[in-house]
Chain A
Amino acid sequence: MTDRSTKSAKVAASLRRRHAAERRFRLYGMGAVAFALACLGLLFFTVVSKGYTAFQQTYVKLPIYFDAGDIDPKNSGDPKVWAKANYQGMAKKSLRGLFPDVKKRRDKRALYKLASSGAAYELRAIVRENPDLVGTTTDVWVTADDDVDMFIKGYIRGDVAENERRISNKEMAWIEALVADGRLEKRFNTTFFSAGDSREPELAGVWGAAAGSFFTLLVTLALAFPIGVAAAIYLEEFAPKNKLTQVIEININNLAAVPSIVFGLLGLAVFLNFIGMPRSAPLVGGVVLALMTLPTIIIAGRAAIKSVPPSIREAALGLGASRSQVVFHHVLPLAMPGVLTGTIIGMAQALGETAPLLMIGMVAFIVDIPGGFTDPATVLPVQIYLWADSPERAFVERTSAAIMVLLGFLIMMNLTAVWLRKKFERRW
């Protein structure tokens, strides 16, 4: 009797201990998740809080007199003559008209700087699209300079000493006058989504880098997906299990862990120096990234193929299907969600990669938007890196905004992977 009661007391005590251990373990788990979420939240908060202002840009409304004598003095109607006209001069004249009491040369130079140096090209584009504006005076919104933009957004504070900020007291007075007149306001920043890189923050955009990323990933997908899936099918379904295939298997796993810069060096040595492919081209970048993502796709593909139950293969074989019929009619379609998930994750990894591209010249200042696989191009993460390294203050917010764009793409790709898995997944 006493024996039993001590035993049950012992059990009760150990039960309490075990329950406590269980609770502790759960708390650790919850703590780990909370920590990870907090880090993620902090990352998103810093990026978004720094970057959201870049989606707006300050514009200034100038009454521009499109002087026919300036644009087309000989009345030729030739668009080439029109393109060469002094549009910067028109913007300057308009600013002088708004502030007629600015007389000193030095002050005038400061005044002209309120509008971006890109204003001339904006005016040129306006005239090209609306030729009947020539000879009239029209209010036109042009991009303001990045210093004005930073001041309006509050990044350049007006309350520090004048020689310590990039906007002088005079310029502040002009800006305030323009704001009071309704001639200066923040609007949605379309340039950021439609332009290529630029040294002027107000004219810089992510579109060039996004197009470069698109072409690069297209090459990567076109190479890595068929080769990766074929390799996975062969290794899983057809290859004999012997020493050689084991060595290959180990090497594929090793390859997945090779630092990505090594692939860049390979690209430089083989594709640029030996084959002679062009530098900075998405074609080369795509091939290099394909080599990098191949192991990921092969490993994910093999796991997906392995998870298709053998009974399906046996049933097909029993009904007289050939081995390749079994694979292509039954196994591969069933394994596809897993294969696609692996591919998309591999591609997402490739999208965020900069190191291998450094060696093949894709880390470069490229203004023109790439139109093909051999045009010089850069990619989104490289654009972020380049902007992060630029001295102009306005690039800080643009860097964060570009990170948001890249994160947006990554989240979209990962959501597609989740959606594909949910939609086509079969449980046995």
Chain B
Amino acid sequence: MHKRTLMLATLAAFTFGDHAIARDQIRIVGSSTVYPFATTVAEQFGKSTGFKTPVVESTGSGGGLKLFCSGVGVEHPDITNASRRIKKSEVEKCHKNGVTSVTEIKVGYDGIVMANSKASAVMTITRKQIFLALAKDVPGPDGKLIANPNKTWRDVDANLPNVKIEVLGPPPTSGTRDAFAELALEGGCKKFPAIKAMKKKNKKSYKAVCHSIREDGAYVEAGENDVLIVRKLEANPNAFGVFGYSFLDQNSDKVQGSLIEGKKPTFENIAEGAYPVSRPLYFYVKNAHVGSVPGIKEYLAEFTADKAWGEEGYLTDKGLIPMPEAERNKFKTDAAAFNNLSM
């Protein structure tokens, strides 16, 4: 008797699951960097309006866009967060699957910092030196590319300390790593005229040189967990870590950010664009879902309100670097009108 009831209940649940046509809750996927901001807004939105709190999954920028572009319908997410701009190939994929109208909203900026334990001295470094320390291949004495021979920071530059190069950072699946490679490594890589010339001739090999991080143990992939990197830096004063600004902000008593091109990774420097290693964050909205999934419009209104993403909004407490006012207004209008994205 008991077993029969249980089985019936399971069967009923199955059929119910099969017919979950309407969805009354926003579903968000995407970047782990935007995740803390998206979840904060989602929570505020859930508490202050009558709508259910959106469900936010942290899938990485690429994974999120893949899910987002897989089609229109309640089984697909409504919004995806990204720590980089959507790629042309992804827009095409979206179109192929019927996702033709997408609103792009820039959230703000995030700085990527290179930090070490407070127990050691602050490092002052340039992007060129970062490239020489961490790239897989660097130009040798004769200008030809050789496998990176630099073992200590002093090998890179005589002014740097004589300690072994040991940098803990995110793995290749991470958007932070992509951005670090693009902004820091490529930024330094471009300073070599020979490599810069390569860009025009052979873009692919230029990218391979500028974006490849060495694999001989000097760069340690520490997983997606930035908290772990901070803890490892505490234990090992000689090591450096690469992570998002919000982790530096929260742990400023334990770790210090290195000066890159003479600029300290501070809120003001990143907001002004003076700190060179910073990137914009985005999210994308599936316009076809507006109206069929309740609350999307209101969620965007919450996100784009000044009390959230403004200069003194609650997202700055979470480490978001806000956009200048003009830019905020532009994306606010986009969000209100659901303007389709133009590449």
Residues of A within 8 A of B (CB): 109, 113, 117, 121, 156-157, 160, 163-166, 198-200, 219, 222-223, 226, 272, 275-281, 283-284, 361, 363-368, 373-374, 376, 388-393, 396
Contacts and interface: CB of A to CB of B under 8 A. Distances in A.
Give the interface centre of B6, B10, B14, B252 by most chain A CB atoms within 10 Å: B10
A342 to B, nearest CB: 18
Nearest to B318: A199
B18 A166 contact: no
Interface string B32-52: 100110011011001100001
B247 interface: yes
B150 interface: no
A199 B43 contact: yes
B10 A366 contact: no
Given A165-B252, A366-B53, A366-B55, A279 B226 contact: no
B250 A393 contact: yes
Interface in B38-90: 39-40, 42-43, 46-47, 52-53, 55-58, 75
Chain B interface secondary structure, helix, strand, loop or mixed? Answer: helix
Given A121-B47, A276-B18, A368-B53, A160 B6 contact: no
A272 B246 CA distance: 35
Nearest to B32: A389
Interface in B243-284: 246-247, 249-253
B281 to A, nearest CB: 15
Contact of A219 (B10, B27, B252): B10
Given A391-B246, A396-B227, 9 more contacts: A117-B314, A164-B118, A277-B17, A278-B17, A279-B75, A364-B56, A368-B46, A391-B36, A391-B251
Interface residues of B, number: 47
Q: Would you list the 10 A-B pairs with minimal beta carbon distance, nearest first?
A: A367-B53, A365-B56, A364-B57, A277-B17, A365-B39, A199-B40, A391-B250, A376-B55, A164-B253, A278-B20
B58 A363 contact: yes
A363 B250 contact: no
A368 B252 contact: no
A275 B18 contact: yes
The A interface, classified by DSSP as helix, strand, loop or mixed, is loop
13 contacts: A117-B314, A121-B47, A164-B118, A219-B13, A222-B7, A276-B20, A277-B14, A283-B13, A368-B53, A374-B20, A389-B225, A389-B227, A391-B250
A223 B10 contact: yes
Contacts of A219: 10, 13
A163 B7 contact: no
A21 to B, nearest CB: 42
A160 B251 CA distance: 13
Contact of A392 (B7, B225, B250, B312): B250
Interface string B144-187: 00000000000000000000000000000000000000000000
A367 B247 CA distance: 23
A117 B40 CA distance: 11
Nearest to B249: A391
B104 interface: no
Given A223-B10, A366-B53, A388-B227, A281 B17 contact: yes
B120 to A, nearest CB: 15
Contacts of A121: 47
Nearest to A223: B10
Interface in B4-24: 6-7, 9-10, 13-14, 16-18, 20, 23
Given A226-B7, A366-B55, A393 B25 contact: no
Most chain A beta carbons < 10 A, residue from B17, B52, B314, B317: B17
B188 interface: no
A373 B42 CA distance: 22
B137 interface: no
Given A388-B225, A389-B224, A374 B55 contact: no
Which of B35, B246, B319 has the largest count of A CB atoms less than 10 A from its CB? B35
Contacts of A277: 14, 17-18, 20
B10 A222 contact: yes
Given A117-B314, A226-B3, A391-B36, A156 B253 contact: yes
B46 A391 contact: no
